[in-house]
Amino acid sequence: ANFSEQVVENFPSDISTGIYYGWACVGNGDVHKMVLSIGWNPFYKNIKKSVETHIIHTFKEDFYGEILSIVIIGYIRPEKNFDSVEALISAIQEDIEEAKRQLDLPEHLKLKEDNFFHLREGKIVNHD
């Protein structure tokens, strides 16, 4: 789930690029573990900064146009380049496992229930 350029431009400018973990909620649905990449994704040679959320859950259908709410809990590693797609995929899998371990800690689990995730009602449809 990628955030729009407008959302990325409004992220705090002093947040370090890299891989983070936390909680994510689509619309008014359940809260799931997530891994977040902030940066330029050097492997793909992006010229614009992106914020990409990998929600650790399999959804039954697409959720384009839904509100994506996230809480960033911690930092896993800096952004880096990879020699191959396989190396990138391997690093992503390691990041996911680290996120799962961290988010199972009691101090992180309690944030899953925060009211932040249930304040909004409705949908925003993005026609970009």
Question: Cβ-count burial of 93 within 10 angstroms (0-12 exposed, 13-18 middle, 19+ buried)?
Answer: exposed
Q: Is 52 a catalytic residue?
A: yes
Q: Quote the Cα angle for 88-95-17, to 5°.
A: 80
Q: Residue 9: which H helix or E strand, with range?
A: helix 5-9
Look at residue 35 and give its three-state secondary structure. strand
Instruction: State both tokens at 22.
Output: 């936390």
Instruction: State both tokens at 18.
Output: 């890299």
Pick the catalytic residue from 5, 52, 107, 113: 52
Residues with catalytic annotation? 52
